[in-house]
Amino acid sequence: MTAPDGVVTWAEIDLDAIAANTRAIKAFVGDHTQIIASIKANAYGHNEVQVAHTVLQSGATMLAVHRTIDGVRLRKAGITAPILILGYTSRSGIPLLVNYHLTPAVIDRDIAVRLSEQATTPIPIHIKVDSGMSRFGLFPEEVLDFVKFVSKLPHLKIEGVFSHFATSDEANRQPMLDQWHTFQGVLQTLEEAGFQIPMRHICNSGGVISLPEAHLDAVRPGILIYGLNPSAECIAPFPLRPGLTLKSLVVRVRTLPAGSAIGYGRTYTTQEPMVAALVPIGYGDGYHRLISNRGAVLIHGQRAPVRGRVSMDQIVVDVSHIPDVQVEDEVVVIGEQGSEKITAEEVAQWAETINYEVLTALHPQVVRVYKRNGEIIR
């Protein structure tokens, strides 16, 4: 597609791909396991509202975000499905939870009491277990007493208990299995005490792939929904379609003489005349500075290497080997062009990070354009 009016750098979000990925996950986990779709961090950079509608139409029954305010935004956008708040809810956020019918993760007695006091009808809550990640959650030995305490509060309903795998995307399965066994022990303790929790969940995307026996009542896929694998060691056994293509335009073409130093710090000097194309994307857009002198983009279906440092708003690429590059030619930063492809994983390697960060780092100023049923919706 051509660039949106007045825009020089944009991301195309393929909602059909996100729908297909969600359906593939649902087929893999089966009818007895619900999908709680993780749309944290603005749906991993894809836009939480558009993705929410898409996944809910494609097999997900619940959404997961990290912060209360994220759930409020979704409610204001017309999302009526259950929304799980995975992170901490502050005392000042309790009225928002109540008023917008959000489902919090609760691990604090004071928060639980305040929530029960402010609610007028039973509020569903999920209790998080720290099974070995040492972040948010109760130690396993604390869970039963906490459940007993919360179960006596008049306006709280324990809907779920959950944990989170730390290494489900790694080849060494033992730490994941240790966490799984710890979580199973908690579930058994609760069951023996007479507590039947309807939604038990621990699997992130890596767990969905690596440990099917842990699918339980629900799974919480994230990166899989957006068409990427959790890691090179954790590959989905079903097809995935990347949901995002990042594009820009050539905005200047000129020949630099030999000996020209390019960009801040003059970290690249031409050894011979070089045809240079200027592309308006930089670390202010989320294109990492570590990509300097390492990465490439696609122009006319060929790779054009990044020369010099990535600036806040622009990069210079070498198009000496690409004939007839013109101003406003399309540039693909992530995605396919012709027979060539640059994946988020490859960009992550250049930036010394992971594909998750490549997607979530995309700044809101990068215009999102959405495709559904082969047509552009904006």
Quick check: 349 and 294 in contact, CB under 8 A? no
CA-to-CA distance for 200 and 159, rounded, in angstroms?
9
Quick check: 127 and 104 in contact, CB under 8 A? no
The single residue of 40, 283, 287, 370 carrying the catalytic annotation is 40
264 is catalytic: yes
The single residue of 76, 148, 264, 341 carrying the catalytic annotation is 264
Beta-carbon count within 10 A of 289 CB: 13
Q: Which residues of 133-150 are buried (b: 16+ CB within 10 A; e: fewer)?
A: eeeebbebeebbebbeeb
Q: In degrees rounded to 5, what are phi and psi of residue 189?
A: -60, -45
Judged by DSSP in three states, 85 sits in strand
Strand partners, 158: 125
Judged by DSSP in three states, 140 sits in helix
Q: In degrees rounded to 5, what are phi and psi of residue 134?
A: 60, 40
370 is catalytic: no
Catalytic (active-site) positions? 40, 264
